[in-house]
Amino acid sequence: MYRLLKLLGAGPQARITLTRRLRLDIRGFYRDLELLRTAHIDVPLKNQRYTLIGSVKEAIARLPFPDPHLTLGEARELAKGRSPAHRN
């Protein structure tokens, strides 16, 4: 989703362009789009192009992850509270 936001921050993008650059299938694209909208990140479709409303920085701040650079495995480990960072 972080990469999707960065691409949309460059300007309106067609779905085919986004799916190719992100190497997503249609289902994955719509799943990510729905997650963005659930996080109250407005990405309307206008003239067959998706547009990010607001700034990329504001949108990234709304992402439901602790850090967009974390892998899913790292986020799960943090959620367990058993990493070395949790012991300090």
The CATH fold of domain 2-87: Arc Repressor Mutant, subunit A (1.10.10)
pLDDT value of residue 65: 63
> What residues are paired with 49 via a beta bridge?
46
pLDDT band at 73 (very low <50, low <70, confident <90, very high): confident
pLDDT value of residue 81: 73
Closest CA to 83 of 72, 70, 75, 64: 75
Q: Where are the domains of the chain?
A: 2-87
pLDDT band at 33 (very low <50, low <70, confident <90, very high): very high
Task: Answer with the residue of higher pLDDT: 19 or 79.
Answer: 19
15 and 24 Cβ atoms separated by less than 8 Å: no
